[in-house]
Amino acid sequence: MKRATLALALVLTLPFAAQAAPITFDISSGDLAAEVTFNNVGGNLVVTLSNVSTYDVMNPGGVLTAVFFDIAYGLTPISALLASGSTVWYGPINGGNVGGEWAYGGSLSSSAPAGSGISSAGLGLFGNANFNGPNLHDPLAINGGNYGIVSMGDNPATGNAKVTGGEPLIHYSVVFTLSGIPVGFDPSTGIRNVYLNYGTDLNYHYTPDGGATLSLLGLALASIGLLARRRR
């Protein structure tokens, strides 16, 4: 019994300290529902931003345009690609590379809800796109609702002019990759103060910490099973 107790203690402490775990933050408010997942993939920070609402987007207030967060490291944007199952409406799709329509900013001004952010809209905080893709739709600078993210349940034929062909829009998720995190960076402890923004004005929603605990617990239980098999 003492051996089993010791093995459990080791499993529950060592993986938590050494294993980087993804973390997901989400908001749900009325017709709005969105989530953002942060993950350490091969030493890069991978951020997946999704508009998961099942409601139709009727105006720009339902278009997801930015995520803000605090992180202790300076990041360099690498790419912005359409997630699996996503597409572009009313504009060029460019093989899924939408990096010319999104910008990363670090050390943002005090008007931002957090120190870093990724955005398709200027919001008075972002300049030119910097995720290494061509400009798909003018203006060159990040401005307006171009390539913001509409909901999973959006009907492209309904809504006002801005969301029915007035601007290119993404349906429904984008994956951003950034370098600059150290080896072993754990998003579940290293990402804080996450906010999601809709539309072309600062109109953000705070997202409480998501649930990385279950993924770590699953890892711990799997490790316990492995230890048990080795002792037979």
Q: Where are the domains of the chain?
A: 27-208
- pLDDT tens string 14-28: 444 445 899 999 999
Helix (H, G, I), strand (E, B) or coil at 6: helix
Output b/e per residue, 38-70; b: 16+ Cβ within 10 A.
bbbeeebbbbbbbbbbeebbbebebbbbbbbbe
118-136 pLDDT tens trace: 999 999 999 999 999 999 9
Is the pLDDT at 221 greater than 80, yes or no? no
Q: Are 46 and 39 in contact (CB under 8 A)?
A: yes
Amino acid symbol at 184: G
CATH 2.60.40 fits 27-208, yes or no: yes
Prediction pTM value: 0.84
